[in-house]
Homo-oligomer: A and B are copies of this chain.
Amino acid sequence: MTNCVLCKDDLKPDEGQVIWRGDDCRVILVNDQDLPGFCRVIWNRHVAEMTDLTQGERDHMMTLVFAVEGAIRHVLNPDKVNVAALGNMVPHIHWHVIPRFRDDAFFPGSPWSKRTQETLATTLEARRQKVQELPKAIKAAIAGLA
């Protein structure tokens, strides 16, 4: 769709980086100041809902989502992972896969809730350093899928 930002498939360098791209989906590491390691799995074609996909397409996408979750857990060892497909603003299927920590800016709320606290700058910086290992881990996790 002409006016859909996820159809355009261009990413400004300050928004994040494409980690992996397949025929149907791509995986983005989002440059989020509060939640380092925030990833997004995006369906390439413009489709609004998961139930608009075939069973096989759905399975494929969820396999990628959980491969990303696995890599995030392996690299960052978060207290929780949040997985969500909302799309109220951009109705083009994309899954947010987000490492959450007890001391992150929104914990225990959702990543879209009110800020609850400020994370220590040194802690955030250490997480950002770890996140540099994430692209390689995600690529390896996807490559290892049957």
| A contact residues vs B (CB 8 Å cutoff) | 48-51, 58-59, 62, 66, 69-70, 73, 80-89, 91, 100, 107-110, 112-114
Shortest CB–CB separation between residue A109 and chain B, in angstroms?
Answer: 6
Q: How far, in angstroms, from A139 to B28 measured CA to CA in the complex? A: 36
* A83, A88, A100, A113, most chain B CB atoms within 10 A: A88
**Do A109 and B110 contact each other (CB < 8 Å), given the known contacts A73-B51, A83-B84, A84-B84?**
no
- Pick the residue among B48, B85, B108 that contacts A83 (CB under 8 A): B85
Q: How far, in angstroms, from A109 to B107 measured CA to CA in the complex? A: 18
User: Which residue from chain B places its CB closest to the CB of A82 in the assembled complex?
Assistant: B86
